[in-house]
Each structure stands twice: as C-alpha cells, then as structure tokens.
Amino acid sequence: MKTERTGAIVVLLLGIGYLWKAFAMEDINIGDPLGPKAFPIFLGAIMTVLGFSLLIKPEAASTEKLFGRATFSVAALAGMLFIYSIAIGAIGYPVSTFFFLLLASRLLGEKISPAGIAIALFFSLGVFLLFTRVLDIHLPLWGMIRR
Amino acid sequence: MIEIFHHLVYGLQIATTPTNLFYAFIGCLVGTLIGVLPGIGPAGGIALLIPLTFGKEPASAIILLAGIYYGAMYGGSTTSILLNVPGEAASVVTTLDGYQMAQKGRAGAALSIAALGSFIAGTIGLVLLMLLAPPLARAALKFGPAESFALMFFGLSTVTSLAGKSLRKGMVATTLGLMLSTVGSDLPTGIIRFTFGIANLMEGIDVVVLAIGLFAVSEVLTSTEEMAAGEFVVEKLSRIWLSLKEFMQSLGAIIRGSFLGFFIGVLPGAAHVTASFLSYTLEKKMASDPDNFGKGDIRGVAAPESANNAAACGALIPLLTLGLPASAVTAVLYSALLITGIRPSPFLFDKHPDVTWGLIGSMYIGNVMLLILNLPLVALWVKVLRTPARWLFPIVMVISFVGVYSVNASSLDLLMATGLGILGYIMRKLDYPLAPVILGFVLGVLMEQSLRQTLMISGGSLEIFWKSPIAMILFLLSAIFVVLPRFLARRKGMHLA
C-alpha cells in the first residue's frame, strides 16, 4: 500500500508540475480559440485529479516490491546504459559497444574469457558494419577522439 | 466488376514481369530486415531506400518501395514477439500477447500466426481496395477535424479502459503519453513547450525513442532483476508450428481485424496504430475469456497483426484515388512517385494505370512472397531465443540503441531512452500499463491539432461536435466502452453479494 501511495504522489507531483509549466507558458491565439496552452492545462488537470484520486483511494497493492535484493543489478545496468549513451558519441560506436557488451554480460553472469571477448568483438564490429555499410545509417566510428 | 477483373489481370501482368518480380522480392526482403531491426520503421525504411529507385520505370520503383512497406510492417512484429521490442508504434500491441507466448515457449506459433494473419489481411485488404476505393475515398473526405478528433478519442478511451486492471492507472498512462506528445515546438504558433531549454527537444520526442525506452530497455532491466534474483526462467520451446486448432481459433480475429484495419486505414492520422490497438480491444471485448488476453492468447497476436496489414492497404486509398497522403508512409511513397515523375492526383488510375494496377498486382504477389519468405524464417527466428540471456539482452540493447541513435544521431536520445526505460521498469512494478503511453503519444499531436482546427472552424464553439453525427456516434461508443463494462461488473458484484 505504501508503494501505491508513493506512485500516487509521483503522479500528483507530475500533474502539478506540468500544470504549473503550462500556466507559465506564453500564449498566442490569433484566430486559434484554444491556443498552445489549453490542451496542456487540460492534461495537467486530469493528471492532478488522477494523482489525488489514487492517493486518497489507492488501488489494491501490486504484488511486487519496488526495491528488492536484485535492485543493485538493475541500478548497475541502468548506470552502464547511461555511460554507454554518452560513450557512443565520445569514443565511437564500435569501442563503446565492445566494452558495454563485455561488462553487461559480466553483470548478467558471463565470465570474461577469450570466447566472450571474441563475441563482444564480433557483435560490436558486425552491428557497426551492417548498419553503416549495408543500411547506410550513420554511426560514429571514433566519436570525438578523431575530431 | 468485369472491368475491375480486367484491370487486375493487367496489373498482374505488369507485376509478374521478371524485373518487377525481382523488385518485389528485394523490397519484401529488405523491408523484413528493416522491420526486424528496431527503430527504422516502414516510413524511415522507404525514405532511406528511395535512391534505389532512381532511373527505374515508375511502376518498378513503386513496386520496390511498396514491397519494403509491407515487408517492414510484417518484420516489425518479429522483435515484438521474440524480445518485447516493438520496432514501431503499431507493433506495440503485438508485444502484449506475442511476448507472453514466446515466454511460454510458443514463439513459433505467434510468429506463424503473424505471418498467416498478415497474408490473409493483406489479401482481404486488396480485394476491398479494388472494390471500394472510389466510394471510400469520398467517405473519407467527410472526416473533417471534428470527426478525426472523435475517432482518436474513441481509440484512446477503449484502449485505456481495457489496458490494465485499473481504469485510473490506464488513464494515468494515456495522459502521460499525451503529455509527452506536447514536448517541443507548437506547430501553429511556434511556441516552445516543455523543453526545459534543451534545443534537441524542440522537435519533440521521437516515437522510436519512447517505444524502445519504455519497452526494450525496461524489459532488459526487468529481466536483469529476475536473473539476479534467480527467478529468470527460460521456457523450453514447445512445438514450433501452429496447430490447426490455434489457426481456427484465430481465424475470426484475423477476419475482423482485417476489415476493421482496412476501414480505419483509409482515415487520416496514425491509422495503422489506432487500427492495431482497436482490433485488439475488439477481440478482448468479444472473447468469452477476456482474462486470457495479455497472458499469451494467440488471438491477441492475430488481430492486431491483421489490422496493421489491412490498414496498410486502406492507407493507399487516399493516395491513389485523391492524391492525398494520409500517413507518414504514404507521404514518403507520395514523394517517391513525384521523384519518378508522377504526380498523385484523383486521375492517377486513368493517367497511369500501369503504376496503380501494377502496384495492386504486385501487392498480391508481395503477399505470397512474404508468406514464402517468412514461414521458413520462423524456425530461424525462434533460435534467437536459444541465445544465452546473459548475451541476448546486451545484444538487444546494442541493436536497439542503433535504432534510437539513427533518429537524430544524438546521445540525448539515448539518454532519454534509458531514462524512459527506468520509468517503464517502475511502471511495470506498480502495475501501470505501458501500451497506452505509446498510443497517447502517437495520437496526442494529431488530437490537439484536430481539436484546434475544429474550434478554429467553429469560432470556438463546441457545437460543431454535436452537429456531426459521425463524431457523436464515436463519442457515444467511447462512453459505452468505458462505462458499460464497469456498470455490468458492479451489477454482477451486487448480485453475487
């Protein structure tokens, strides 16, 4: 029930925050009766009402706990994904992907071995070549290193 | 009728020339590949490959691009079923039961019904396209902004009401999607909304970023948690192929999905997304055992996949008969036709019968080709699931991130996808459904635009809605869909008490 209420508070704060930003927005409505503010204000109001409603009368508690003994692994992978997101632009797709594959598979239980290194190398280069050479999609080779 | 038959034979003659057969095959193959890779989507795929059509005959060029179109529509379902990674918004609904089937070891059956459903829907859609194109095009013109708004409102209401266990949580998810759609520059006025000073957000959030974040990233995070807690179980693959019983069970859903998808596909806006969501809710509504939906019910794969493909046929009607592209994909096809020297107009059927009937003929051929191409691939795709999870999930992330990066070549999109993935992970834990976020997001911009256009036409008066019978019927149906199930459930509860 506590988790449900926490969720409801987040929904409520989101609604209020969005509503506040919507009201603060500049308004121009020449020939447009609604203008750019009305739709967001309406959405913010709905979200706020829903947040209140869920806070006052929560739904039956979900079975899962928000944090458990495996939360560390989830946080570690999320952290890796954040770093990988930045690394693609900074050091290029193949290198960052190689390290991401190696470390993420390690986190999920794979031991670092020559075979694992070979798999990470194969996929980082293979995916890069498939997209850049065959499908003509731009991916940075070296990122900012060679700029 | 005989005239249509003659035209069809003419179209088939054009489509079955060795050159055009080759282009249709290449189109289907490349389209399936593009569809399987998350992030690119049919519109992006066609746009990327337009240069391939330079210097080709108009009929051959359009046959190639149309092959990519329906190949990508089909291919998008593969990753939705196998990995819970929807390649584009219309495939989101396929994840609901498709991925559950895969987790129960029935990925082969899910992929097969997606292929067969797409084939049947494509065939029904083409027959309807030939027979009903002119009257439907005229009817679609009656869909002004008020009616479009009402249709999208209907789509959102039905999906919200049936998405999860709680109506309020479904509404939170839909509203969140609508809120995310308001990020960026407001088209009519140019006012910047909810970007927090980040220049890259001026054009809004891309649907690929949202879909991959909410579904793929959150799925990988959830699975990581299960693996760390020792709860991750890989179900053994049971029979790969679809049984006759399962096919017969899905047939009604396929036929209903085909008709619904086709008629919604004719309408402007994100028709194929609305069609796939609505067909799913229709099946759930009609089922005697609706609780099975979301837990791996084969009808939950058959209906949206059929609707999706039939909508692709329907969407060609405004393009071919009125010269109006009504969706992102047909807009790209429109540009491709212009490049080949053909201006789509109401006279396209008369002026360029080789292109229009050649396209229709090639779609028949393409449908057969897709089936021949995809059914044997089912066994191959299913093997993907045998990859050890400790490698499969990182590889899924690596490929998904290419899809996200390809949108704007921006690390910000990757960071957003990760953030949205964490949001999706928490929403799953708290039992908030994810699918309505995507539908709300896709329809949000269109809904706001049509509402504003409607009120501009009426000078700010809401009377325009009451004066439109189509809009009123759709509003009434929305109310029935949302209120009636709850009213009946409450009465049933009272009786039981």
pLDDT of residue B321 exceeding 50: yes
pLDDT of residue B165 exceeding 80: no
What pLDDT score does B256 carry?
A: 93
Percent of chain B with pLDDT over 70: 91
DSSP type of residue B295: S
Chain-centre distance of CA B395, in angstroms?
A: 25
Does residue B445 or residue B8 have the better pLDDT? Answer: B445
Average pLDDT over residues B16-43: 80
Range from B37-51, B429-443, B464-478 carrying the lowest mean pLDDT? B37-51
Average pLDDT over residues B353-381: 80
Verify whether the Cβ–Cβ distance B224 to A138 is below 8 Å: no
Average pLDDT value for chain A:
86
CA distance B122 to chain A (A): 27
Does residue A69 or residue A111 have the better pLDDT? Answer: A111
Q: Using one digit for the tens of pLDDT, what is the confidence trace for B50-80? A: 777 777 777 788 788 888 887 887 777 888 8
Q: Using one digit for the tens of pLDDT, what is the confidence trace for A10-46? A: 999 999 999 999 999 887 777 778 888 889 999 999 9
Cα–Cα distance between A16 and A1 in angstroms, integer?
Answer: 22
What pLDDT score does B497 carry?
A: 45
Integer CA distances (angstroms), A147 to A89, A140, B81, in order: 11, 11, 41
Structure tokens at B297: 């019910």
Closest Cα partner for B72 from B366, B446, B379? B366
pLDDT of residue B421 exceeding 90: yes
Nearest Cβ partner of B394 from A40, A71, A100?
A: A100
CA distance B149 to chain A (A): 13
Percent of chain A with pLDDT over 90: 48
Q: Give me the sign of the Cα torsion angle A133, A137, A143, A146.
A: positive
User: On the CB side of A110, how many CA atoms lie within 13 Å of its CA?
Assistant: 24
Cα–Cα distance between A94 and A146 in angstroms, integer?
Answer: 14
Instruction: Give B 212-271 residues with CB within 8 A of chain A.
Output: 217, 220-221, 224-229
Cα–Cα distance between B333 and B355 in angstroms, integer?
Answer: 12
Question: How many structural domains are present in chain B?
Answer: 1
Beta partners for residue B184, in sequence order: B193
**Whether A96 contacts A114, CB under 8 Å:** no
Return the H-helix or E-strand segment holding A93: helix A93-107
Backbone phi and psi for residue A28, each to the nearest 5 degrees, phi listed first: -130, 125
CA distance A77 to chain B (A): 7
Collect all residues with Cβ–Cβ distance below 8 Å to B5 and sequence separation of at least 6. Answer: none
Closest Cα partner for B311 from B494, B93, B163? B93
In the A/B pair of chains, how many CB contacts fall below 8 A?
Answer: 185
Beta partners for residue B193, in sequence order: B184
What pLDDT score does A2 carry?
A: 76
Does residue B101 or residue A70 have the better pLDDT? Answer: B101
Which of chain A's residues have a Cβ under 8 Å away from the Cβ of B227?
A: 70, 73, 108-109
pLDDT of residue B439 exceeding 90: no
pLDDT of residue B313 exceeding 70: yes
Cα–Cα distance between B299 and B246 in angstroms, integer?
Answer: 9
What pLDDT score does A40 carry?
A: 93
Chain A contact present for B448, CB below 8 A: yes
Chain A contact present for B445, CB below 8 A: no
B319 — pLDDT class (breaks 50, 70, 90): confident
Nearest Cβ partner of A81 from B169, B397, B402?
A: B397
Q: Give me the sign of the Cα torsion angle B58, B61, B65, B66.
A: positive
Cα–Cα distance between B406 and B39 in angstroms, integer?
Answer: 8
Q: Using one digit for the tens of pLDDT, what is the confidence trace for B241-252? A: 788 888 888 899
Count CB atoms within 10 A of the CB of residue B130: 16
Average pLDDT over residues B366-389: 79
Residue holding tokens 């003419």? B10
Backbone phi and psi for residue B185, each to the nearest 5 degrees, phi listed first: -80, 130
**Whether B39 contacts B213, CB under 8 Å:** no
Q: What count of residues does chain A have?
A: 147
Nearest Cβ partner of B398 from A43, A44, A97?
A: A97
Cα–Cα distance between B266 and B445 in angstroms, integer?
Answer: 19
**Whether A10 contacts A52, CB under 8 Å:** no
Please state whether beta strands B184-185 and B192-193 pair in parallel, antiparallel, or not at all (unpaired).
antiparallel
Q: Using one digit for the tens of pLDDT, what is the confidence trace for B212-225? A: 888 889 888 988 88
Instruction: Give A 46-75 residues with CB within 8 A of chain B.
Output: 46-47, 50-51, 53-54, 59, 62, 64-66, 68-74
Chain A contact present for B310, CB below 8 A: no
Verify whether the Cβ–Cβ distance B394 to A119 is below 8 Å: no
Chain A contact present for B175, CB below 8 A: yes
Highest mean pLDDT among B7-16, B104-113, B162-171, B485-494: B104-113
Closest Cα partner for B89 from B175, B208, B267? B208
Structure tokens at B355: 């292109």
DSSP type of residue B292: G
Cα–Cα distance between A101 and A118 in angstroms, integer?
Answer: 11
pLDDT of residue B162 exceeding 70: no
Verify whether the Cβ–Cβ distance A33 to B455 is below 8 Å: yes
Q: Using one digit for the tens of pLDDT, what is the confidence trace for B276-300? A: 888 998 888 888 888 888 888 999 9
Collect all residues with Cβ–Cβ distance below 8 Å to B33 and sequence separation of at least 6. Answer: B71, B75
What pLDDT score does A111 carry?
A: 84
pLDDT of residue A65 exceeding 70: no
ipTM above threshold 0.90: yes
Collect all residues with Cβ–Cβ distance below 8 Å to B22 and sequence separation of at least 6. Answer: none
Range from B33-37, B296-300, B400-404 carrying the lowest mean pLDDT? B33-37
Average pLDDT over residues B173-193: 90
Backbone phi and psi for residue B56, each to the nearest 5 degrees, phi listed first: -95, 160
CA distance B448 to chain A (A): 7
pLDDT of residue A75 exceeding 80: yes
Average pLDDT value for chain B:
82
Which of chain A's residues have a Cβ under 8 Å away from the Cβ of B193?
A: 25, 36, 40
What pLDDT score does B269 carry?
A: 62
**Whether B263 contacts B63, CB under 8 Å:** no
Average pLDDT over residues B186-209: 86
Count CB atoms within 10 A of the CB of residue A22: 22
Q: Give me the sign of the Cα torsion angle A52, A58, A59, A65.
A: positive
Among chain A residues, CA nearest to B226: A70
Q: Using one digit for the tens of pLDDT, what is the confidence trace for B144-154? A: 888 888 888 88
Structure tokens at B253: 């859903």
DSSP letters spanning B50-67: GGGGTTS-HHHHHHHHHH
DSSP letters spanning A2-65: HHHHHHHHHHHHHHHHHHHHHHTS----TT-SSHHHHHHHHHHHHHHHHHHHHHHSPPSPPSS-
Counting DSSP H helices and E strands in chain B, the numbers are 22, 2
B163 — pLDDT class (breaks 50, 70, 90): low
CA distance B179 to chain A (A): 7
Would you state the torsion angle of the CA atoms of residues B315, B91, B49, B210, taken in this order, to the nearest 10 degrees? 110
CA distance A145 to chain B (A): 16
Integer CA distances (angstroms), A145 to A83, A85, A87, A142, in order: 16, 16, 11, 6
Instruction: Give A 103-142 residues with CB within 8 A of chain B.
Output: 104-105, 107-110, 119, 123-124, 127, 131, 135-140
Q: Which domain holds residue B341?
A: 2-496
Among chain A residues, CA nearest to B440: A43
What pLDDT score does B496 carry?
A: 47
What pLDDT score does B181 carry?
A: 93
CA distance A101 to chain B (A): 6
Count CB atoms within 10 A of the CB of residue B171: 24
